Each structure stands twice: as C-alpha cells, then as structure tokens.
Amino acid sequence: MPFLPTMPQEEASTEVRGIYEYVLSRWGFVPNYFEALGHDSQLLQDQVNLFTNAMFVERGLPKLIKEQIATVVSAINMSSYCLPAHLEILGRMGMDKSLCRKLSIDYKLAPLEPNVMELLKFCEKLSIRPSEMQRADLDHLREFSWTDADIFDAVLITSLYACANRFSAGLGLTPDFE
C-alpha cells in the first residue's frame, strides 16, 4: 500500500478520468505512478505529456531501446516499482524473458549489439556518476553511430527514470505488475 493515497480511476474527477483514459489508450494500462499524481490534474497532465512524448515519439531512439534504457536505469536505481513495469512492457513488445532478466540483473551479460551496449554503459555512468559526464562520453557514442537525437533521447530517458524511480520509492508505490 502506498505511503500516501492515490487517486483511483473510480474516484477521479471527470477531467482526471479523461487523462486516465488517454493513458490507457497509449500505455495499455494506467500506472500507479499516474494515479499518485491524480490529485492534481495539471501536474498529472504535465507528467503524462512528458513521459508519453519521451517514450512514444521517435525523435531518435526507437521505443524498444528506450524501454531497455528505462529497464536498466530502474535496475541500477533498484526501483521495485519501475523495474517490473518496464520488464512487463518489454515482454509485451516481444522481447525474450531471459534477455529481459539479464537487462534487469546485469545488462553487461545481455547479448546486445555493441552499439546498444555502449549506449547502456553511457546511461549507467549518467545514473551513477553524473558529475563525471564529459563531451568525450558523447563523442564515444558517436563512434558507435549514435546521432545527436539518439543521445538526447538516452539522456532524457535516463533522467526521467531517475526521477520516476525516486518519486515511486518516496511514495511507496506498489508495482503495477508482479
């Protein structure tokens, strides 16, 4: 049970229910994360817009790699809320369960393309040692054919899930999936 009350769909205002319906149509479920924001329709809408735009709009990275980043970052941050959600999403996208497990336990053991592995290493550094980030880190990614749009997406997703991991931990959100 969360530390603070959430706004379940059946108790939500008409405006918030409308946002939840949109989330359901885009995400396939309404995450407890968004229900935790349901007491403030503007904040909920802002977060839905931000996360939906970041995860679904393909400026650079495809959705599958974005989900892999969200999974690895959530594993690094030991998020008991976000990690199961992104493992479920990866499974729904058709990723093999054993590969999903490797991403969540030790992504460096996962059989990934070398360029994807380097991108995940970059995201790990940004997660664990953000003060050590340098232009050389981005230049290194470019050597693996990542574009500026790809790198932007990787930084955005890593940063958003650092926030989501801490928000969900701080509120004691229960996983959407077991």
> Cα separation of 66 and 159, whole Å?
12
Contact between 85 and 176 under an 8 Å Cβ cutoff? The reply is yes
> Cα separation of 142 and 177, whole Å?
36
Reported confidence tier of residue 5, pLDDT bands at 50, 70, 90: very high
Pick the CATH number of 63-161 from 2.40.50.140, 1.20.1290.10, 1.10.3210.10, 1.10.260.40: 1.20.1290.10
Instruction: Check whether 178 has a pLDDT greater than 80.
Output: no
- Give the per-residue pLDDT at 146: 98
Residue ranges per structural domain of the chain: 9-56, 63-161
- Look up the pTM and report it: 0.94
Quick one: tokens of 68? Answer: 């892999």
| pLDDT (tens digit per residue) in 95-111 | 999 999 999 999 999 99
Contacts of 104 (CB under 8 A, 6+ apart): 71, 72, 74, 75, 83, 87
| pLDDT (tens digit per residue) in 51-72 | 999 999 989 999 999 999 999 9
Reported confidence tier of residue 177, pLDDT bands at 50, 70, 90: confident
